[in-house]
Structure 1
């Protein structure tokens, strides 16, 4: 079981008077699934825990509920919800019986994937041009025997970067975000 899920469900982490219900085995497994996905995507574990719990929850949850159920700090919860809102992965829900803002997961994979690619990968590719320019300068400083191999690899990287930048808008458009 991933450490984040263990942290969120470990009995020793629960204060004696804490009224927050423990996570069910289903909730733990869904959270673990999203934690594994987030690891592949290089995103913080807490973001995946928040999304996983909201995804499987039959009702919207307030930030306080997320903090107590997942055993995460207010800062982690706030930062995670902000990121997930900007990504379009969660949306706020107002309830008549509670003044707190509640959140629910948006379960539209195409839109989420498109926004993730646009918002996370796009800026990396743009910033990559400056890095590639630095690599060209560094390659020029190498001795002749090393320079040709390194220059060929840098040219290959630039080509890959250009191809991804050319295709990314089409992929995002196909995904509908």
Structure 2
């Protein structure tokens, strides 16, 4: 690698600082550091970048970039861009906050809410098996609190989507109260 090529791949101070913003955001929502780094670099770049450019500029492993790009594409945070004359995939960031949040909610948040619902349903029968009546009543009260939290969370998500411009929340099993107008 030539010296000029090495300098071209080095991150500038503003790029490193902006990438750090995305690394912190990824960490906040439980995603790996590399996810924030990849999205951050794509966000900073004036053009779509190839897989090899991501590896070189970020100085992270090909495996991390591969997994990161795959997850970011699954979330709808990164998309492919056609570049005439190139046989390589080029990646660019999704810049619509509504699409980013919708992708995260649909892929990450909703499955946890759904599996939580199933677990809460099974919990009641387990609580009913408790011999100690006082403990059983206490546990049922706590279960009631969890059910309330779950109900409120389901109501909050459409509000978040409305703030971002309104959207049908989930494609599957939608009910009338999952629409924001």
TM-score by length of 2: 0.78
1:156 corresponding residue in structure 2: 145
1:127 aligned to 2:118?
A: no
In the alignment, structure 1 segments of 5+ residues that lack a partner are 1-14
Q: Is the 8 A contact 1:34 1:51 kept in 2?
A: yes
In the alignment, structure 2 segments of 5+ residues that lack a partner are 169-181
The alpha-carbon distance between structure 1 residues 16 and 132, as it changes in their structure 2 partners (threshold 3 A), is: farther
Alpha-carbon deviations, 1:110-134, whole Å to 9, x = none? 1211221122111111100222134
Q: Is the 8 A contact 2:77 2:103 kept in 1?
A: no
- For these two proteins, the number of residue pairs brought into alignment is 163
Q: Is the 8 A contact 1:113 1:175 kept in 2?
A: no
- Superposition deviation, residue 158 in structure 1: 1.5
Alpha-carbon deviations, 1:81-114, whole Å to 9, x = none? 1111122211111222432111111111112112
RMSD (Å) for aligned C-alpha atoms: 2.6
Q: 1:72 aligns to what SS in structure 2?
A: coil
CA distance, structure 1, for counterparts of residue 15 and residue 53 of structure 2: 14
- Superposition deviation, residue 162 in structure 1: 3.0
Q: Is the 8 A contact 2:55 2:62 kept in 1?
A: yes
